[in-house]
Amino acid sequence: LQVSPEQVILSHSPLRLFSQFHHKCMLVAGQGPVEENAQDLGFKHVVTMEALRKAYPLLDMVDHSRRPKEGYSQKAALLASYRVVLFGEPVRWETSLQLIIDVLLSNGNPGAELQDIPYPHLPVLACNMDLLWMAEAKMPRFGHGTFLLCLESIYKKVTGRELKYEALIGKPSTVTYRYAEYLIKEQAQKQGWASPIRRLYAVGDNPMSDVYGANLYNNYLNCESILGSVESCESILVCTGVYRHEAAAARARQEGTAEAVFHGHRDFCFDPSLVEASYIVQDVNDAVQLAFKKEDWS
């Protein structure tokens, strides 16, 4: 089975649509080749967190081993009115939290002395809002949603104001599902399929992002009745990740509710019905077989 890049949607993929920022100076945070990823999405002027740290070494003071040595003199620094793109959780949280706050408080000039704090602050775009994710450990691990929670809390504690996002991208944002629908239709057209796509099936292991987002998009489709759009988006929850059916059932018996705590992002209102999956199956293979059966495909 060969999968082309056009068929893969990552949490940051919809940033291709945000062309109004593609020629701005963007400070990007996350792991991996974030500079290359940002350029692939269309951003022309990219500054990484490491480049900013090297330009302003006096800002990153938590780790004593990385502090400037005696005799240090400030060199020419990066001067730009940044916009901030948060791809995912960084490795050094303390460095990224400090430098992002510095950029927001200084209106893009973190080497300057703090003056009046600008508000609204510089635009912030964030991808991937999962509070938790499942790895090899028995318990879930912190996700980028946890990093965002820290950033929001620090900003509000320091300024007394809410951190605002220009856009939140990735599940459960409807932007991501609309982008997915667009790419699916594009692929269908390339394959020469004449029949319109009527239903989407969204498969995931996290009720608070995968299921919530799919159900939210389904509500959006029902309300908007957009000409040429799909009719429904059905959520399929698998039991091989964050969600464990036995553990969820035990909590429900103990607490009298399936989900007592909302793990979703601050900017999404909690609606208990949105975390109820259309279907619960064991794994992704079962989810695919369910979709085939629903569509009467052999």
Residue 71's region, left for phi above 0, alpha for psi from -120 to 50, else beta, is left
Q: Which of 34-38, 182-186, 281-285 has the lowest mean pLDDT?
A: 182-186
Whole-angstrom distance, CA of residue 1 vs CA of residue 4: 10
Calculate mean pLDDT across residues 239-243.
87
Q: Which of 49-53, 71-75, 121-125 has the lowest mean pLDDT?
A: 71-75
Do 251 and 241 contact (CB within 8 A), yes or no?
no
Calculate mean pLDDT across residues 135-151.
94
Whole-angstrom distance, CA of residue 173 vs CA of residue 167: 9
pTM: 0.86
3-state SS assignment for residue 242:
coil
- Angle, CA of 136, 284 and 30, to the nearest 5°: 50
Asked whether the predicted pLDDT for residue 215 surpasses 60, the reply is: yes
48 versus 297: the higher-pLDDT residue is: 48
**What is the DSSP code (8-state) at residue 65?**
G
3-state SS assignment for residue 252:
helix
In this predicted structure, what is the pLDDT of residue 247?
Answer: 61
- Write out pLDDT tens, residues 92-104: 999 999 999 999 9
- Write out pLDDT tens, residues 153-205: 999 999 999 999 999 999 999 999 999 999 999 988 888 988 888 999 999 99
Asked whether the predicted pLDDT for residue 253 surpasses 50, the reply is: no
The total number of residues written for the chain in this structure: 298
In this predicted structure, what is the pLDDT of residue 77?
Answer: 66
Q: Other C-beta atoms within 10 Å of 96: how many?
A: 23
Q: Which residues contact 89 (CB under 8 A, 6 or more apart)?
A: 30, 31, 142, 143, 144, 146, 147
- Alpha-carbon distances of 1 from 4, 8, 18, rounded to whole Å: 10, 14, 31
Q: Which residues contact 288 (CB under 8 A, 6 or more apart)?
A: 203
Calculate mean pLDDT across residues 134-149.
93
Whole-angstrom distance, CA of residue 25 vs CA of residue 81: 7
Calculate mean pLDDT across residues 259-287.
90
Calculate mean pLDDT across residues 14-27.
96
In this predicted structure, what is the pLDDT of residue 168?
Answer: 96
Calculate mean pLDDT across residues 228-257.
72
The kind and range of the H/E element at 157 are helix 144-159
Asked whether the predicted pLDDT for residue 226 surpasses 90, the reply is: no
In this predicted structure, what is the pLDDT of residue 144?
Answer: 97
Q: Could you tell me what percent of the chain has a pLDDT over 70? A: 87
Complete DSSP assignment for 200-220: EEEEES-IIIIIHHHHHHHHH
Do 169 and 15 contact (CB within 8 A), yes or no?
yes
> What's the CATH fold of domain 5-168?
Rossmann fold (3.40.50)
Do 242 and 140 contact (CB within 8 A), yes or no?
yes
Calculate mean pLDDT across residues 277-294.
95
In this predicted structure, what is the pLDDT of residue 130?
Answer: 92
Domain boundaries, the chain: 5-168, 191-295
Whole-angstrom distance, CA of residue 64 vs CA of residue 9: 40
In this predicted structure, what is the pLDDT of residue 250?
Answer: 47
Complete DSSP assignment for 78-141: -----EEEE-S--S-HHHHHHHHHHHHHTTS-TTSPP-SPPSS-S-EEEE---SEE--SSSS-E
